[in-house]
Chain A
Amino acid sequence: MNFVALSYWDVLLAALLLTINGGLSIWLRLRLEKELAIAALRMVVQLALVGLILKALFTLVNPWLTALAAAVMIGFAGYEAMARQDRRLAGPWGYGLGAGAMLFAASVVTIFALTTQVQPDPWYSPRFALPMLGMILGNCMTGVSLGLNLLFGRAAKERGGIEAMLALGYPKREAMKPLIREAVRAGLIPIVNAMAATGLVSLPGMMTGQILAGVDPVEAVKYQMLIMFLIAGGTALGVFTAVFAGAARLTDERHRLRLDRLAKKASD
């Protein structure tokens, strides 16, 4: 099967389907018309910009520009991860914790895949590096934000139990253990569910995209498996790093629970 190029008219025709959403919103008085229009417009503008930037990056194949694009992606992911937490660490830690954990996890896993499995030439080829980083980062971000949200929320809620342990001489490691366990679990559940459902309930976007672009389905499946394993590994590494570092910041060297280091969402 050959790759079928789309015209802008084809895209516009697909966009007409949004009239169903808009019509439903008006009929049921959902008041979503405006938000729907803005969201659709944002998507078009953002994707168009990304398309142009990626095209330029793919042509230049410059390691520094690739690194810059990766840094921007990680920067946005860090902000998103922070915004999704009801409680977060105060000050620069609020942003730095999630962004740092994702920088570490996504970089390690992406570089591992680029240098040992995919092996493009050069290894940092943005055509491979950036889409892979994007997929790993997107899932890692969900895991990190879920894990940290649970860790900080539950620490505040279960302060009495944690401090009761600390007050009797239990070390912070032991007092925080149930919370750390639950937070890591919460961060990993989405990727475990995604792996279990892939192929049966859902056909992943990347694989579908490759098939539509004319790639042999068996090859597309192999790529998808690789990506799922990378996402699982990256998410585990990111969640583990973020939750352990978060728990360390939430306590101090005198084994105290430091809820004063938490800030609530500005909107609360």
Chain B
Amino acid sequence: MEDLTRPGLEPVSFSLDSGAALAVVGPSGAGKSLLLRALADLDPNSGRVQLDGTLREAVAAPVWRAKVSYVAATPGWWAETVGGHFRPEDRDIAAALLPRLKLPSAAMGWGIERLSTGEGLRVALARALVQQPRVLLLDEPTAALDAESTAAVEGLLHERVGDGLSLLFATHDRQQARRLAQRCLAVAKGGIVREEAL
């Protein structure tokens, strides 16, 4: 990725290998979410972003986002039930995945309104993982989770990174950054991004 920029974010260049994790740290409002959203191409932005040598603009946006998926810090919903948020062909995989995130498979039948904040975050993560993206962009994936659920999420992410997933995640937790990532990008106020030691 070269010179990725958008309003609120200074140009930034970096690369991420397959099977590597990169933490994005920085104070609230500095632009961590803007960076992740720009990579997912969810807001107007500019720069050369490529995956496996293919430029982002060379593929249709839905194809890009199926490979480079973004999960927001506050999950959004579009169906009545948890199961309704998975494509029919992915529902069995999702039901099998939920217990890995400390949720019962039966949660597939739960209504969205009964999910706690932490449960919602984990369902949103499962929703992205079942699609098997090449790059996963997570915005504060464990911000509202207890220690046990955080460990479950981190364990699953660690495993997926081991399987070749490239992971970029925004976090306030330096310890979590060290546990999950090999590298770290710091976003300072004004949207200035630089790589720093973990």
Is B128 on the interface with A (CB-CB < 8 A)?
Answer: yes
Given known A160-B77, A167-B42, A178-B78, contact A254–B61 (CB-CB < 8 A):
yes
Bound together, the chains give a CA A254 to CA B95 distance in angstroms of 32
Chain B nearest CB, measured from A154 CB (Å): 12
Which of A161, A175, A252 counts the most B-chain CB atoms under 10 A from its CB? Answer: A161
Bound together, the chains give a CA A162 to CA B78 distance in angstroms of 7
Cβ contacts under 8 Å, A162 to chain B: 76, 78
Cβ contacts under 8 Å, B44 to chain A: 252, 256
Give the size of the chain A interface in residues (CB under 8 angstroms). Answer: 22
Is B63 on the interface with A (CB-CB < 8 A)?
Answer: yes
CB-based nearest B residue for A177: B78
Bound together, the chains give a CA A169 to CA B68 distance in angstroms of 9
CB-based nearest A residue for B75: A164
Chain A nearest CB, measured from B72 CB (Å): 7
* Contact status B61-A256, CB under 8 Å: yes
Interface size class on chain B is 20 to 34
CB-based nearest A residue for B67: A169
CB-based nearest A residue for B66: A169
* Contact status B77-A167, CB under 8 Å: no
Bound together, the chains give a CA A170 to CA B42 distance in angstroms of 12
Is A217 on the interface with B (CB-CB < 8 A)?
Answer: no
Chain A nearest CB, measured from B166 CB (Å): 16
Contact of A159 among B43, B76, B131 (CB under 8 A): B76
Is A80 on the interface with B (CB-CB < 8 A)?
Answer: no
Cβ contacts under 8 Å, B122 to chain A: none
Cβ contacts A155-192/B at 8 Å (1 or 0 each)? 00011111111111111000100100000000000000
Q: CB within 8 Å of B: which residues of A?
A: 158-171, 175, 178, 252-257
Can you give 15 A-B contacts (C-beta < 8 A)? A161-B76, A163-B42, A164-B72, A164-B75, A164-B78, A165-B78, A166-B42, A167-B69, A168-B66, A169-B62, A169-B65, A169-B131, A255-B61, A256-B41, A256-B43
Q: CB within 8 Å of A: which residues of B?
A: 40-44, 60-67, 69-72, 74-78, 124, 127-128, 131
